[in-house]
Amino acid sequence: MDPLTIGMLVILAVLVFFMFRNSRKRKAQQEELRSQIVPGAEIMTNFGLFGTLKSLDDVTKVAEVEVAPGTVVRVHSQTIAKVVTADDIDPNAPRSVEEAMAIANREAEERDRVKLNEDSAIPLAEPAYGERVTDEAKKPRRTTKKAGE
């Protein structure tokens, strides 16, 4: 057998190894998710719907999710992407579009206020590249010698 064939077989064996390893990891993650999915858990679906799991039917694969008080949505159980924990929720995130717009407006006003302060600030002592220096203190002084000295 030539070295090229041996190299190809080694590469094929490595690919098959990683394929089986990733498959086992994915199955373990799915089992962990399935063990966490119980009625009463806060969940998120694949399409971004958050809610509380009310019931799960393993035979028909239907999950009932309460998205608001009194509003129950029926989805396929495989659309449940993850169980939401307290670590996943950002307490500083805006809860509505209006709140997000108010935060954005406040930040824009703050940027404008800072920009106004920068425009009226005293310039630095060092001149910018290419800037002419008009201050007499920064110009070199010429000394002339008188004929008698």
Instruction: Specify the pLDDT at position 71.
Output: 92
Same-domain pairing of 2 and 32: yes
Distance between CA atoms of 103 and 97, rounded to whole angstroms?
A: 10
Rounded to 5 degrees, what are φ and ψ at 46?
-60, -30
Residue 129 domain-assigned? no
Q: Which two tokens stand for residue 34?
A: 């399935």
**CA-to-CA dists, residue 132 to 50, 129, 140, angstroms:** 62, 9, 14
Domain shared by 64 and 82, yes or no: yes
Question: The domain containing residue 10 runs over which residues?
Answer: 1-36
Closest CA to 52 of 38, 65, 37: 65
Tell whether 116 and 102 lie within a shared domain. yes
Least confident of 2-11, 20-29, 49-58, 115-124: 115-124
Pick the closest to residue 66 from 55, 78, 52 (CA basis). Answer: 52
Question: Are 26 and 62 part of one and the same domain?
Answer: no
In a shared domain, residues 77 and 99:
no
For residue 35, the SS3 value is: helix
Residue 43, in any domain of the structure: yes
- Counting the structural domains of the chain, the total is 3
For residue 84 the two structure tokens come to 């939401």
Q: What is the pLDDT of residue 121?
A: 55
Question: Tens of pLDDT along 92-143?
Answer: 777 788 888 988 898 888 887 766 655 555 555 666 677 676 655 555 556 6
Residue type for 116, please? L
Same domain, 1 and 20: yes
The DSSP annotation for 88-107 comes to G--TTS-SSHHHHHHHHHHH
Half-sphere CA count of 12, side-chain side, radius 13 A: 6
| Residue 41 sits in the same domain as residue 31 | no
In this structure, the answer to whether residues 76 and 94 fall within a common structural domain is no
Helix, strand, coil share (%) of the chain residues, nearest 5: 45, 20, 35
pLDDT digits (tens, 9 = 90+) for 70-81: 999 999 988 988
Highest mean pLDDT among 10-19, 41-50, 137-146: 10-19
Is the same domain home to 4 and 18?
Answer: yes
